[in-house]
Structure 1
Amino acid sequence: MTEATIGIDISKDRIDVHRLPGGESRQFANDKTGLRAFLRGVERSGEPPARIVFEATGAYHRALERRLAETGLPVVKVNPRNARRFAEAAGRLAKTDRIDAALLARMGVALSLEPCAVLSQTLSDLKQMIVAREALIKDRTAAKNRAKVMTIAVLKRQNAERLKQIERQLVALDTEIEAQIAAEPDLAPRLGTDRTAPDRRFPSSL
């Protein structure tokens, strides 16, 4: 029997679903009600899929990813760049065309993509905060560099205010990051041992 593969194209308001074999396509709202309806459909099919393939789309894919993990379904999250390369190599689309659910399902079958582990909610939150922290550090460096060459009083004042704001935001983020680590001590080794230095770094790939 051929393994079932589901491809999902995720957007802000909806998810488009394509199942192989069979080629059945459906559409659901990208909200709690829509995700419940999708999962009921998977359950009623009587044949658990070998993989559910979707692109990593930032905020749009996270709710779906969490619900799939909670129900124990096999998650395959692909890099959008890799999906596009597969599609172009297969002659399925031009460079400006959109990757759709059917193409993602075909990619899962053709490459026999293996399910991957899903980050816990804590790890997912930490990763987002660490990425935000890195962006703030870059902003701080840029603001300090601007301060060295500014001569106009109003610009110097605004830049100084921005630096203070960045420092406040970094303190808030560091406090929350440490609180998350304290709640799950097993995370500490993954984040390094020296987190006390003013310019300490956290790995963004947890």
Structure 2
Amino acid sequence: MTSEMLIGIDAAKDELVIDSEQELLTIANTAEAIDAWLKTLPTESYIGLEAPSDYHQLMAERAVSMGKVVYVLNPRDMRPYALGLGRRGKTDRVDAHMIRRFITAERGHLRPYQPASAIQHQLALLQRRRATVVKHRQALQKALRSVNELEAPLFDTLAALDVLLKHIDQQLEGVLTLQPALASPSPAS
């Protein structure tokens, strides 16, 4: 006889709030704490995680490596679901409970999480770094454009950031030549 467990987890930087059929608990968002907790679960465990940032990543990857089925959920889907059930509160415990209810009701329509390949990780990292450089370049340009005394240093700084962006773009192209199926339209500056 196998026992099945459905679990909802609200992930934050430092901790994971876990709602299962048996308990509500909080553990540290560290490999050691996650591994210790995962070892207590039955073989047939289904874990739902909301993905507002990267805080869910460690749990998702550790759980899949231990044979658990993981569903990474879009927060934009969870909010209307919670409101539809009359839940107005927004706490980590409420979120974990809503995630568990959601996977209980929708598991048959959800796609299990598949960890990214090393190339996909590298591509995502480069894209995030590129977006950060673009964001800061635009902020510098906006903040200093009307300060005449800083026009020359600003021009030099923006030119250096453009060189950095070209370098990142070359790295992205290199990754995409290794994995052409991941190619999409080039990122906007």
Q: TM-score, normalised by structure 2?
A: 0.78
Q: Is the 8 A contact 2:10 2:95 kept in 1?
A: yes
Pairing 1:111–2:106 present: yes
Q: Is the 8 A contact 1:7 1:103 kept in 2?
A: yes
Pairing 1:10–2:11 present: yes
Q: Which residue of 2 aligns with 1:24?
A: 23
Aligned-pair Cα RMSD in Å:
3.1
Deviations 1:112-162 (A, max 9, x none): 252233322431331232244245446657777899x746132x1342133
Match 1:167 to one of 162, 168, 171: 162
Q: Which runs of 5+ in 2 are unaligned?
A: none
Work out the CA distance in 1 between the residues paired with 2:23 and 2:139. Answer: 51
Q: Which runs of 5+ in 1 are unaligned?
A: 193-199
Pairing 1:48–2:77 present: no
Q: Which residue of 2 aligns with 1:61?
A: 56
Q: Is the 8 A contact 2:31 2:62 kept in 1?
A: no
Question: What does 1:1-206 correspond to in 2, within 5 Å?
Answer: 3-20=4-21, 23-42=22-41, 45=42, 47-49=43-45, 51-94=46-89, 96-98=90-92, 99-112=94-107, 113-114=109-110, 115-134=112-131, 136-137=133-134, 150=146, 152-154=148-150, 156-181=151-176, 185=178, 187-191=179-183, 201-202=186-187
Task: Give the aligned residue type for 1:10.
Answer: A
Q: Per the alignment, in what secondary structure is the counterpart of residue 59 of structure 1?
A: coil
Cα 1:89/1:160, change in 2 over 3 Å: same
Q: CA deviation at 1:102?
A: 1.8
Q: Per the alignment, in what secondary structure is the counterpart of residue 171 of structure 2?
A: helix
Q: TM-score, normalised by structure 1?
A: 0.72
Identity of paired residues, percent? 23
Q: Per the alignment, in what secondary structure is the counterpart of residue 44 of structure 2?
A: coil
Work out the CA distance in 2 between the residues paired with 1:163 and 1:177. Answer: 21
Work out the CA distance in 2 between the residues paired with 1:30 and 1:124. Answer: 20
Cα 1:25/1:141, change in 2 over 3 Å: closer
Q: Which residue of 2 aligns with 1:195?
A: none
Q: CA deviation at 1:105?
A: 0.6
Q: Per the alignment, in what secondary structure is the counterpart of residue 34 of structure 1?
A: helix
